[in-house]
Structure 1
Amino acid sequence: MKRRDMLIASASIALTNRTAIAAPEFPRSDTLIRYVVPFAPGGLTDVMARTVAQKLAEAWKISIVVENKAGASGQIGAEQVARSASDGSNLLAITSNHAVNVALFPNAAYNLVKDLRPVALLANSPMLVVVPASSPLNDFRDLMAASKARLLTAGSSSNGSATHLTMALFNDLNQTRMTHVPYKGGAPSMLDLISGRLDVIFSNFPESIVHVKAGKLRALAICSAARHHVVPDVPTTSEAGMPELNVESWTGLMLPAKTPDGVVDRYSREISRIMRMPDVQERVKSQGFRLNFQGPEEFAQFLNTEISRWGRIIKVGNISPE
């Protein structure tokens, strides 16, 4: 993505549809809120959406319905909310997939930058670099060296997925290439890795950690700036010599672009309070996730960075959905 385009995208996300119009009373006692999760139940996004929905409903004494609208890498649910009423009654759970989709699906029916506005970043989950337990690769530096010496096979849950893009970023940073083997989902790729039919997967943490704990896979590094409480003995990619390979799946919340500032601010303040609740923090930690609350402006800046970073990797790696 060219610098000019990056600046335009940044300005668009930060400033789109900011309005001085006073927000109507929100929420009213009869307000029904639909919180759309554009993926199947389970996982980071669904867990966080349901946690936030429950706490918001209790605090505001209203009804909030979580709806799973899976399909098209999160685009179906996102388009639904982007086209819905801008009165605060329609929420969208977004993930790193949506930042990737900006470059991966340039002709999508909705525009993440123009049609939606950031409200809050909620939590993240780092990628975990894993190899079979029988692999001769004992640490991340071994992987860096081996990928220069021979052509390794790297699995992913699909073309353009976080697992694929993390591998592509590794290749870009290490100036190597791997044979990419895409699967239809994380589970089948894990089975082939365990059996030794693959050399490595830059995996979603929840998909691989159970196999690491069972001794079927070896974790070489965690793609974050800090070690993870679930696997404190696994070094970070920074410690292992590649600090730029800092990749975490994340989830946040957006509203239709024309939602009044007052409504956005009300959500942001309440969610900030919810994220500080001990029971919420414990629930998130028990799932292996990390709370990482950011308000509208900080989240917008973070989203800009994600769109730019993955847009570049998609272009350099010539990555397409199929």
Structure 2
Amino acid sequence: MTSRRALLAAPLMLPALARAQSSRPTRIIVPYAAGGGTDILARALAEAMRPSLPGPIVVENRAGAAGVIGSEAVARAEPDGHTLCAVVSTHVMNKHVMAQMPFDPLRDFAPVAMLSRSTFVLAAMSALPFNDIPGLRAHAEANPRSLSTGSTEALSSFIGQELARRLGIETPDVAYRAGSQLMTDIVAGHLPLGWTTTASATPHMATGRAKVIAVSTATRTPFFPDVPTAQEQGVADFDLSGWVALLGPARLPDAVAARLFSAVEAAYADGAFRQRLATLSIEADLRPPAVAAEALRREDRIWTAARAAGHIQPQ
């Protein structure tokens, strides 16, 4: 009798079980320190996505090893849509600059959405006697190795050195821990040039001691609409930028990825959320899973070619 009652009750329990599973928290792991740009974006997005998902959304910071520690937790998670990560473009680049990695940044993840584009700008001391890339080249040729260029991580360092290679000049790289420190030295007159994000550069423009002479992407940034791209200034096919993407574990079902993307899409459709991104100098660039996957593959091709050419080296 007991077993018969259990069999009769089982179908009634299934909807309750499904509801319990669907109301589980969704974790967005940010594999970087709290308070950074990716963390700020992830928290703003989690808040905006809550009306579209049945359960709570929790943002968790797991910093370390250039994003590898937190990302590995997602790579090893169940592909049920409840564990995601928000990563920047170094997620792909790490494969080419790290001697060993515990996962493959493409094969072991399933893209959910591309969230934002991080345009890098070439900031300069306002006292420098040029305002564009042709002027930079002429000055560097007349004054060899005089234009040190600041960077804050592997990508901005590569952008600076790639531009120098394309122009046939030398601009020695100077490493900084943060864009704010880099911009402080430009404003103070201690650093001639530096590649940094729009979010880092914008607060310092009001001083009158810094200027922006180029952007790294193929299209202009809305935060500096009057500044031409490197391509517009004669550097053909120069199109390098950072990004933030939302990823899940490999084998994430397409239907689950689509449901999550719909929640992200609803957040981006909200005017208040988009205004918040603009206030934070975050350039919205929403792309669905298939398009985000191609963006990651394109990134991998760029770094594969750069490594083959000896422009980046495993550490």
Pair in the same fold by TM > 0.5: yes
Separation of aligned partners in 2, 1:30 and 1:62: 4
Alignment partner, residue 116 of structure 2: 123
Alignment partner, residue 170 of structure 1: 163
Alignment partner, residue 221 of structure 1: 214
Summarize the Cα distance change of 1:89–1:79 in structure 2 as closer, same or farther, 3 Å threshold.
same
Structure 2 counterpart of 1:154, from 149, 152, 159: 149
Q: Secondary structure at the match of 1:117?
A: strand
The correspondence of residues 83-162 of structure 1 with structure 2, limited to 5 A, is 83-149=76-142, 150-151=144-145, 152-158=147-153, 160=154, 162=155
Alignment partner, residue 230 of structure 1: 223
1:269-302 superposed Cα distances (whole Å, 9 cap, x missing partner): 2222322222222111222222211111111111
Q: Counterpart of 2:210 in structure 1: which amino acid?
A: L
The runs of at least 4 aligned residues of structure 1 exceeding 4 Å deviation read 24-27
Contact in 1 for aligned 2:122/2:194 (Cα 8 Å)? yes
Q: Return 5+ residue gaps in structure 1 as ranges.
A: 1-23
Across the aligned residues of Structure 1 and Structure 2, the Cα RMSD in angstroms comes to 2.3
Alignment partner, residue 61 of structure 2: 68
Contact in 2 for aligned 1:168/1:313 (Cα 8 Å)? no
Q: Secondary structure at the match of 2:183?
A: helix
Q: Secondary structure at the match of 2:130?
A: coil
Q: Return 5+ residue gaps in structure 2 as ranges.
A: 1-16
Q: CA deviation at 1:56?
A: 2.3
TM-score, normalized by length of structure 1? 0.84
TM-score, normalized by length of structure 2? 0.86
Q: Secondary structure at the match of 2:244?
A: strand
Alignment partner, residue 186 of structure 1: 179
1:216-273 superposed Cα distances (whole Å, 9 cap, x missing partner): 2111112223333332222222322224232222101100102222211211222223
Q: Counterpart of 1:60 in structure 2: which amino acid?
A: L
Alignment partner, residue 17 of structure 1: none
The correspondence of residues 272-283 of structure 1 with structure 2, limited to 5 A, is 272-283=265-276
Residue 210 (structure 1) aligned with residue 203 (structure 2): yes
Rg comparison, structure with higher value? 2
Q: CA deviation at 1:58?
A: 2.0
Q: Secondary structure at the match of 1:76?
A: helix
Structure 1 counterpart of 2:292, from 299, 303, 316: 299
Q: CA deviation at 1:191?
A: 2.9
Residue 288 (structure 1) aligned with residue 281 (structure 2): yes
Residue 37 (structure 1) aligned with residue 21 (structure 2): no
Separation of aligned partners in 1, 2:87 and 2:18: 26
Separation of aligned partners in 2, 1:54 and 1:27: 21
Aligned residues: 297
1:119-153 superposed Cα distances (whole Å, 9 cap, x missing partner): 11011121010111211222222113333442231
Contact in 2 for aligned 1:131/1:137 (Cα 8 Å)? no
Contact in 2 for aligned 1:99/1:306 (Cα 8 Å)? yes
Q: CA deviation at 1:199?
A: 2.3
Q: Secondary structure at the match of 2:194?
A: strand
Q: Identity of paired residues, percent?
A: 29
Q: Secondary structure at the match of 2:106?
A: helix
Q: Counterpart of 2:244 in structure 1: which amino acid?
A: T
Structure 2 counterpart of 1:80, from 73, 87, 110: 73
Q: Secondary structure at the match of 2:189?
A: coil
Q: Counterpart of 1:31 in structure 2: which amino acid?
A: R
Greater alpha carbon shift after TM alignment, 143-152 vs 61-70: 143-152
1:80-115 superposed Cα distances (whole Å, 9 cap, x missing partner): 111122211101101111121121125111211221
Q: Secondary structure at the match of 2:107?
A: helix
Greater alpha carbon shift after TM alignment, 31-40 vs 165-174: 165-174
